[in-house]
Structure 1
Amino acid sequence: MTADLLQGKVCMVVFSNYPDDPRVRRDAEALERRGMVVDIVCLREPGEPAREVVKGVNVHRLPVRRKRTGKLRYIYQYASFIGLAAAHLARHAPSRRWDVVHAHNMPDFIVAAAAVPKLMGAKVVLDLHDPMPEVYMSKYGLAENHPAIRGLLDIERWAMNYADHCITANEAFRVLFVSRGCPVERMGVVLNSPDESVFGDWPEPRMRPVGEGPFRLMYHGTIVERHGLDSLLQAVAALRAEGRAVELVVYGEGDFVQEFLRRRDELGLAESVDYRGRVPLEEIARVIPEADLGVIPNKRYRFTELNLPTRILEYLSKGVPAVAPDTHGVRDYFNDGTLYFFEPGNASSLTQTIRRAMDDPAERQSILGLGRVVALRHAWASEQEKLVAIYRDLLVARGVMHATQNVSE
């Protein structure tokens, strides 16, 4: 197999942990495999080295931790990290000579860390994982005309204009950002598809025979209120009240964990709902096939209406059908017969949908097969080519590569 190689150096800046952040990791490893020198500037957890090389990626961790607390704490953490990151990039730019600085939101203002490399000619990419105003409207119940949201919208517009190119994670996000001022020619989409180097090359699914142990549901991801874990607990309780053998396994962390565990115990589900905390992505890929059904129980908010949850693609890639919210962001890619849809925020609808999946193994197999057809169109092997094409254009504009250059391995 041949692949276009790239030339140059990139520094990625992210207010997150590496290699835990899947999108950053996918991008970094894809670019490193194509021949780029890749540096990462990120957060540092206790016990992590300040510097290390992870699969060819040079990781530089700054002495800032993310703690999911109040709004003021978030502002302080953001400001501390961006200040330290800007100083780090300014100090090392003369020797590293980065050709691209790739800033991953949130926050959007993180592009400011690229100031000195940009003055030295580096191209700046703003990777808009999520629309920050919608996230904060959903998280804190703020209206669009709230001063804080108006401020976030102003910062978003400034950041998109400051960057040489923007990337986002799905079509609904792209339309939103273009409507808010990003030139259409400077906005690309690279989906959060599961990396085959972690999740495997789409192995053939193996559905467990009916009656081979309890019906296992799985959730993995950030545990926050808008992701609907309380509705999922209600669904499990209702199904068990019907005498059904069903269990739920949950992976992840977030500011809703303690409330989730309190409600689990309050519903008498301690024996049937297993919370396993945060685990590496490789472990998620390993355990997904042990589930009968992956569940994305999101509630309906401004943000979740537009989001395409990565977990849908991850479940399908490992041969597990998925229950997903009936939202714009999901419907842009999937239609009836490819996923199990439920009404977001409606525990009764979620219960009914899971019950339907449990009762009809043949339909479950059909939905899985059709869902995998859709997901395969957006496999990482294809999506990464969009990222490579964006970088190729930037490196040509930077003068590092020639437009006619076509080096292959």
Structure 2
Amino acid sequence: MVVRRACVVRQHYVPRDSRVARAAQALAEDGFDVDVICLRAPGEPAREQLGAVRIRRVPLRHRQGGGAAGYAVEYAAFLVAATILVAARHLRRRYRLVQIHSLPDVLVLAGLLPRALGARVLLDLQECMPEFFATKFGVGPTHPVVRLLEVLEQRAIAVADHAITPTEQMRETFVGRGADPARVTTVMDGADPGVFVPPAERETAGTGTFTLISHGTVEEHYGLDTVLRSVARLRGRIPGLRLEVYGDGSDLPRLRHLAENLDIVGLVAFSGRFVPMPDLVAALGRADIGVLAVRPDPFRDVALPGKVFDFVAMGLPVVSSRTRSMQETFGDSVALFAADDPDDLAQVLLALHRDPARRAALVAAARATSEPLRWEHQRRRYLATVAELLGDAAAGDAGSPIPSGASRSTGRPHR
């Protein structure tokens, strides 16, 4: 039997990056021998075996606050390291598939030697890099660097054998800039039902508490300051009100200080770290509302926080700021509020607290909307894309190939 080998490359931390971890696991379950090359966070081993997936961590870290030059240096350093590692391993192991996850888009170059020697390169465009740069550094769409990044994005798609991306809005953006629609497939980030198992009944039922929850990287653009201000406005109006924030990030010190200034320290709990998945699932099982307060901008209007699928899978009603991707994906199945408006968020939360039937209706509607987006369905789409790319009819449970743009089985798209 011929061993099918794959190498997955991501300039981030794995398994913290759940999209990468799930893709690698899906490949392993489909019979691939899988290597992952990624960054190494403090305390992580240089090499780790997670089930059938081998992780090789490069001794580099992402550092906040380095400016555009800092990002360029980080990207260049990892590109060089990944290119050398992928090439050396391919010469020994002969990968059939090299999967590159952006950012940066030019990381696709790490797969060129294996491609020249017969491997196929799949580019996972997890972000829109021109919009990321414009938003991160406050420049307009006509800025020379933004224009350059648009060119590099399109070249990266052309260099790869195929591309996937997590939202239909992002796919439309790439196609709108010139990408061949047949070369870009949407594969969404639906929650894994084997991990996110909702409780038989909410553990807060009858306890007199009303818990809001948010999890993931704690950065300013996620708008948690809006949630804190809203909690301050609702103090005394919602009995047992509590906000739990699980994760770490550069905005955590500012949020702690804000909680002190708003005199709501007793109502807010910060984990201050990324907690193990079982602990997070347990916390979601104790919560009443999942809150997303993302600040809309050209970058985040086409992206969708994967945590929304975690909330839905765990049976939580979702309250979210209005972004294009959220509205087009979930519509009326989530409760929307105006971004950066703590008063509007407070009114939405107060109304939901007073109306349990409305909360239950939101949960049911979001489950129905997200059903085709669940990971078991997206996993089949992903493996079908890989099988078609490799011309591999024996690709396990990949199913029949799915057309590149087919992601709207609900009449709406995703992330």
- With the length of structure 1 as denominator, give the TM-score of the two structures: 0.92
Give the distance between the partners of 1:65 and 1:327, measured in 2 at CA: 31
Secondary structure of the residue aligned to 1:58 is strand
1:197 match: secondary structure:
coil
How far 1:295 sits from its partner (Å)?
Answer: 0.1
Contact 1:326 1:343 in 2 (8 A): yes
In the alignment, which residue of structure 2 is the partner of 1:3?
Answer: none
Map of 2:156 onto structure 1 = 159
Is the aligned partner of 1:258 residue 2:267? no
- Does residue 1:57 correspond to 2:53, yes or no? yes
Q: Distance in 1 between matches of 2:117 and 2:395?
A: 27
Which residue number corresponds to residue 111 of structure 2? 114
Tell me by how many angstroms 1:14 deviates: 0.3
Task: Give 1:149 shift.
Answer: 1.5
Q: Structure 1 residues 340 and 205, CA, compared in 2 at 3 Å: closer, same or farther? A: farther
Note the C-alpha offset of 1:137. Answer: 2.1
Equivalent in the alignment of 1:8: 4
Cα deviation 1:18-64 (Å, max 9, x = unaligned): 11110001111111111111110011123322112102101111111
Q: Distance in 2 between matches of 1:257 and 1:150?
A: 33
2:290 aligned partner: 294
Does structure 2 conserve the Cα–Cα contact (< 8 Å) formed by 1:226 and 1:301?
no
Shift of 1:364: 0.7
Secondary structure of 1:304 counterpart: coil
**Structure 2 residue aligned with 1:272, among 258, 267, 271?**
267
Q: Is the 8 A contact 2:208 2:239 kept in 1?
A: no
Query: Given the superposition, is the C-alpha separation of residues 114 and 213 from structure 1 closer, same or farther in structure 2, using an over 3 Å criterion?
Result: same
Mapped pair 1:383 → 2:393: no
Contact 1:109 1:155 in 2 (8 A): yes
Give the 4+ runs in structure 1 shifted more than 4 A: 202-205, 405-409
Instruction: Flag structure 2 segments of 5+ consecutive residues without an equivalent.
Output: 399-415
**Amino acid of the structure 2 residue aligned with 1:378:** L
Tell me if the contact between 1:22 and 1:281 (Cα under 8 Å) persists in the aligned partners.
Answer: no
Structure 2 residue aligned with 1:343? 338
How many angstroms apart in 2 are the aligned matches of 1:374 and 1:408?
24
Change in 2 beyond 3 A, CA 1:243/1:383: closer
Take 1:171 and 1:216, find their aligned partners in 2: how far apart are those partners? 32
| More divergent stretch after superposition (178-187 vs 70-79) | 70-79
Cα 1:147–1:262 shift into 2, 3 Å: farther
Q: What is the distance in 2 between the residues matched to 1:391 and 1:240?
A: 51
Residue 169, structure 1, aligned to residue 171, structure 2: no
Tell me, in whole angstroms, the C-alpha distance in 2 between the residues paired with 1:227 and 1:48: 26
The answer to whether the Cα contact below 8 Å between 1:137 and 1:143 also exists between their aligned partners in 2 is: yes
- 1:214 and 2:214 are equivalent in the alignment: no
Partners of 1:237 and 1:306 in 2: CA distance = 31
* C-alpha separation in 2, matches of 1:408 and 1:244: 49
Distance 1:190 1:282 in 2: 25
CA RMSD, 1 decimal: 1.9
1:328 equivalent to 2:332? Answer no
Tell me the residue number matched to 2:141. 144
Partner of 1:128 in structure 2?
125
Q: Of 7, 14, 18, which residue of structure 2 is paired with 1:18?
A: 14
SS at match of 1:271: helix
Counterparts of 1:47 and 1:407, CA distance in 2: 36
Is 2:335 the counterpart of 1:365?
no
Gaps of 5+ in 1: 1-5
1:11 to 1:324, Cα distance in 2 relative to 1, 3 A? same
Does the Cα contact within 8 Å between 2:30 and 2:397 map onto a contact in 1? no
Provide Cα deviations, 1:266-294, integer angstroms capped at 9, x if missing partner: 11121111110222334322221111000
Output the CA distance in 1 between the equivalents of 2:48 and 2:36. 10
CA distance in 2, matches of 1:54, 1:407: 21
TM-score by length of 2: 0.91
Report the secondary structure of 1:306's partner residue: coil
- For the Cα contact (< 8 Å) 1:43–1:64, is it kept in 2? yes
The answer to which of 44-53 and 291-300 deviates more is 44-53
Partner-residue secondary structure (3-state), 2:319 = strand
Deviates more, 1:112-121 or 1:133-142: 133-142
Q: Relative to 1, partners in 2 of residues 1:148 and 1:264: Cα closer, same or farther, differing over 3 Å?
A: farther
Match of 1:193 among 180, 190, 193: 190
C-alpha contact (below 8 Å) 2:295/2:340 kept by paired residues:
yes
State the SS of the aligned residue for 2:243.
strand
Work out the CA distance in 2 between the residues paired with 1:152 and 1:255.
26
| Equivalent AA in structure 1 for residue 115 of structure 2 | K
